[in-house]
Amino acid sequence: MSTGAGTRAGTGMVGGARRAGSALLGRRARLRWVHLVLGGALLMPYWMLSVVLLGALDPSHGQPVQILLYFASLALSLPMAAVTALVPTVRSLEGAAARALCAPERAEEVSTGPARSWAARRRTAAFYVLHVLFGGVVSGMTLAGTPFAVVLLIAPLGGPAVNDAVGFWQDRGLPGRLPAPLLGLALLLLIVGTSAALGALLARWAPVLLGPTPEERLAAAERRATVLAERNRLARELHDSVGHALSAVGIQASAAARVLRTDPDFAAEALEAIGETARAAVADLDTVLGLLREEDRADPPDPGPTLARLGDLLRQLGRTGVAVDADLAPGLNRLPAGVSREAYRIVQEGLTNVLRHAGSAPARLRVGLAAGRLQIELTSPMGPTRPSRPGGGRGLRGIGERAAVLRGGCEAGPTEDGTTWRLAVWLPVGGAQ
């Protein structure tokens, strides 16, 4: 064998010895031993009660019958433990303690909340029974086996007490031909190995028996989906309302700065429009933040503008220099509130895109009702910064999400001649209330 191969073999042996030592005596192994000893302590009340209940069956208290009585008491104590583990809070206590058993990457799989279903209670009861059973085994071996192992280890030192203890074992033929210290060391290794093995087995079963049930996983997934949908909705509200206001304010401020000296009246009008736009944006922002904080108000916050305020939006846009040729069907104010709010935000975002990408170029807006659907069409000349692909920005993605929520649809992109950008949205009138 070459020197390099021998070195690698030696390194592997050292690494294997370290891993074995860590598995038997490392920090996690010590925590598992403590957890098992606590399980043994939890077993004692059930076991003692079982001994009292079954003790009447053996009035003579003969030794062979007593041994059978102890094992029968252990068997009877486990169903008692299972019944008490059906209490919902047991899962919280066992889960919190069992997290110390698992590897860090699996600890989060163990639930620490109370059992809210019978399936979770049954699984908790199974883990609790394993905990107290394994704990009873490890506690018994630790309390009874460790002193004997120590006595065997110090047997060469002699002494009346040590000789009596060694003689007790030899009379029963247990040491056999093995030296007492070697037998003591083997007994200690048996205790440590049993504790490590049962602790690792309990740690493996902890995520299975104390983890969330399929029903709990489904409920958690539904809650996450609800939270995500609400966050997306609030993000769309902020993007559409505040984004529109900032775009309008930016254009109005630039226009006012250009003509401040040559046309003070127009500059003053632009500044007034900036103030009006800013106040509307603050109101929209307060509405969204009120929803985000879930404030408990006597007066609920305004849910947001509807198509009834579309005229104000068009007049505000006109102050920025964008002329919109609007064709609005009658009866828009009688639409369901949910549809009307989403339609307003869609129109607002579409006009904001016109403002950003086409500047002061004229736009045409058509909002109509046909065949139970609200139809929105917005066209404007292609600007130099107009996205060249559908869905190119967050605003267009938000429009698509709003339409999808109401089970509608949208199309966005340049027309065939490449000179006009077209946004078309259709929403079922009965899609929301």
Residues of the chain with CATH 3.30.565.10: 220-428
Higher pLDDT, 190 or 14: 190
Structure confidence at residue 2 (pLDDT): 53
Q: How many Å apart are CA 337 and CA 326, to the nearest integer?
A: 21
Residue 257, CA distances (Å) to 250, 273, 317, 321, 429 in order: 11, 14, 18, 14, 44
The angle subtended at Cα 141 by Cα 139 and Cα 142, nearest 5°, is: 65
pLDDT in tens, 225-283: 777 777 777 777 676 667 667 767 776 677 677 777 777 777 777 777 777 777 777 77
Architecture category of domain 220-428 in CATH:
2-Layer Sandwich (3.30)
Beta strand 363-370 pairing with 324-328: parallel
Q: Which two tokens stand for residue 424?
A: 């078309």
Distances (CA, A) of 347 to 15, 357, 363, 399: 67, 15, 12, 9
pLDDT band of residue 222 (cuts 50, 70, 90) is confident
- pLDDT at residue 81 is higher than 90: yes
For residue range 124-179, list pLDDT tens digits in order: 999 999 999 999 999 999 998 888 788 777 766 655 655 665 565 555 555 445 57
322-337 mean pLDDT: 85
The region, left, alpha or beta by phi > 0 then psi within -120 to 50, assigned to residue 228 is: alpha
Lowest mean pLDDT across 75-79, 148-152, 319-323: 319-323
pLDDT over 70, % of the chain: 75
